[in-house]
Amino acid sequence: MLIVKKFGGSSVADKEKIYNVAKRCIEDYKKGNDVVVVLSAMGKSTDHLIAQAKEINPNASKREIDMLMTTGEQISVTLMAMAIDALGVPSVSLNAFQVAMHTTSKYGSARLKKIDSDRIKNELASKKIVVVTGFQGINKFDDFTTLGRGGSDTTAVAIASALHADLCEIYTDVDGVYTADPRVVPTAKKLNEITYDEMLELATLGAGVLHNRSVEMAKKYGVELIVRSSLNKNEGTLVKEVCKMEKMLVSGVVADKNAARIAVLGLEDSPGIAFKLFNHLARHNVNVDIILQSVGRNGTKDISFTVAEDDLDEAVGILERHRNTSLHWENIDIEKDVAKVSIVGAGMMTNAGVAAKMFEALYNIGVNIKMISTSEIRVTVLIDEKHVNKAVQAIHEKFVLGE
């Protein structure tokens, strides 16, 4: 079997952890498998590099920041290769130039286009464990790029796809994907399987286990993922196209506190006004989630929407810059202390009344719903942030997601 294993920065943060990962890789190798390991930068090293850059130039170009960042993974892969070697198994580390991981040109958030698999295949053929830098690539200018958040997961999936790997394991600090955050809902249960689509909704909603780009790529190329813990040998959660097990109505409940609501009041009610508004935001990469439009006073309209709380200031700034030029509005109202709570489940597609059941759970505990958004396999509500934990618990219980 050819196995691709991906470990994040916290799994390689020090000597002991590096050796733990090395031993796990060697276990698979000794069973006769070909093993490729994809690594992020060690622990806080990326933060340290960013701090160094900020000290020199707070407005450094993204091209130079990426060139700086990529040293982080290069360090972790070499140390890992040294550790594997010290345990008696030949190993080699490779960076984005050596593998040839071609990406689009955009620094800081490049997308993988093509991975040359020859070098990795040759190293595997000479019975080495191959340790590859995650998160980084090279663009057509022969410059380093980075893939943005969750980039190493994407690297692992892309390599698994390019090599036609039998398995792609994503190691995290949790056992797999749960029906809810176990810190909030003690009865939360680990899922043995989940579909790509469900995982995508969870990833987008901030479940934090897998980044949505890696799931999208896995779905596109049919790479089956296993999400499992680097701290124990538990089975983990398999992410695949169709789950064989009898589907529960809802797979999980997830909360996202990184949300803020913006209400643009008294917008001029002319055709294309919503397009213009959201186009301005999109051009600055501000992602908008739930959108509500209502009729305002005096022939105007009001548009409310949510953004990531991190993007709030930029979103408001954009709206103000375009006030009285392309946009005309009276007032902006913002609310920071809100959170999104969502239920996700492939079973929802064929079952009515799921949303109503969720709203009932919230009504029973007296939580007011501010906004609602739905997709085929998801229902999301916006509520006060202070109620988020009890809301997740109540919904989890309502759908009997625990044991």
* Residues within the interface to its own copies (CB under 8 A): 15, 18, 49, 52-53, 55-57, 59-61, 63-65, 67-68, 70-71, 74-75, 77-79, 81-83, 85-86, 92-93, 95, 97-98, 119, 142-143
Cα separation, 54 vs 342, whole angstroms: 37
Q: Shortest Cβ distance from residue 110 to its own copies (Å)? A: 16
| CB of 12 closer than 8 Å to CB of 42 | yes
Residue with tokens 């993007």: 311
| Angle at CA of residue 399, ends 397 and 403, nearest 5° | 65
Residue 308 corresponds to which tokens in the numbers above?
């990531």
Starting at the edge strand found earlier in the chain, the sheet holding 129-133 runs 91-94, 129-133, 34-39, 2-7, 167-172, 225-229, 237-240, 193-195
Cα separation, 249 vs 354, whole angstroms: 8
Q: Shortest Cβ distance from residue 117 to its own copies (Å)? A: 14
Q: Shortest Cβ distance from residue 300 to its own copies (Å)? A: 45
CB atoms closer than 10 angstroms to residue 235: 13
| CB of 285 closer than 8 Å to CB of 332 | no
Q: Shortest Cβ distance from residue 94 to its own copies (Å)? A: 9
Q: Which is nearer to its own copies, 95 or 212 (CB)?
A: 95
Q: Which is nearer to its own copies, 60 or 319 (CB)?
A: 60
Q: Shortest Cβ distance from residue 22 to its own copies (Å)? A: 9
Q: Which is nearer to its own copies, 106 or 280 (CB)?
A: 106
Q: Which is nearer to its own copies, 138 or 238 (CB)?
A: 138
Q: Which is nearer to its own copies, 79 or 168 (CB)?
A: 79
Residue 32 corresponds to which tokens in the numbers above?
């006769």
Q: Shortest Cβ distance from residue 18 to its own copies (Å)? A: 6
Q: Which is nearer to its own copies, 64 or 397 (CB)?
A: 64
